[in-house]
Chains A and B, each alone.
Chain A
Amino acid sequence: GEEVAQTPKHLVRGEGQKAKLYCAPIKGHSYVFWYQQVLKNEFKFLISFQNENVFDETGMPKERFSAKCLPNSPCSLEIQATKLEDSAVYFCASSQSLLVGTADRFYSPLHFGNGTRLTVT
């Protein structure tokens, strides 16, 4: 599709429950990014994929967060045993490529979905 599609739009979980979020990137885009937007609008990078391979996972809290991008399936972000502080809007973004332009410049325009608002009670 021409838009990044994220589901569900809203998700409410009790503390300790599992939460699973989905993202369908734009067709033809090789890179997928997950960001967490918390209070005061701060965007925190979680993880990125190049096709089905993890590209950068330096932002992932390893203990409870996991993510996958499998062929012919939406990408997913799963949180085991949610905590109150996991409440946030989770954004997925996709990009056609990373490197655009001259050799010593790098920029990746990201196309964002509309996010999943996770509320942990």
Chain B
Amino acid sequence: TQLLEQSPQFLSIQEGENLTVYCNSSSVFSSLQWYRQEPGEGPVLLVTVVTGGEVKKLKRLTFQFGDARKDSSLHITAAQPGDTGLYLCAGARGSQGNLIFGKGTKLSVKP
């Protein structure tokens, strides 16, 4: 059973389009992080959301944490080819220290 479900698994869009990636769980997380991973590299942290209902913006990326802290979304406005990559959500629970990762959304933005 996957604790964090990400959807869609794959997304191929044209430059300029908008998209939303979802990260859902039946469990509550104390915080949730979004990472982006490019081929041959490790994931790089984009943002951490902590408070239920929190919205954070990073240029064209908008991250939201659900009110109940069970789900999150990532919205990209006017996607560019440079946004191509694997987007991973990862949840932290309590003080255990290890993050639980979703399986990721592989995004391809075509010029």
- Chain A residues at the B interface, C-beta cutoff of 8 Å: 4, 31, 33, 35, 40-43, 45, 48, 55-56, 58-59, 91, 93, 98-99, 101, 104-115
Contact = CB atoms under 8 A, between A and B. Distances in A.
A37 to B, nearest CB: 9
Nearest first, the 7 A-B pairs at minimum CB distance are A112-B42, A107-B31, A43-B101, A41-B104, A45-B98, A106-B30, A105-B50
Contact of B95 (A98, A109, A114): A98
Interface size, B (range): 20 to 34
The A interface, classified by DSSP as helix, strand, loop or mixed, is loop
Contacts, number: 74
B101 A42 contact: yes
Given A45-B98, A114-B40, 15 more contacts: A35-B101, A41-B106, A42-B101, A42-B103, A43-B90, A45-B99, A48-B98, A56-B98, A107-B50, A108-B97, A109-B33, A112-B42, A112-B43, A112-B44, A114-B42
Contacts of B90: 43
B95 A4 contact: no
B4 to A, nearest CB: 10
A90 to B, nearest CB: 11
Contacts of B31: 105-107
B48 interface: yes
B45 interface: yes
B20 to A, nearest CB: 19
A112 B88 CA distance: 13
B100 interface: yes
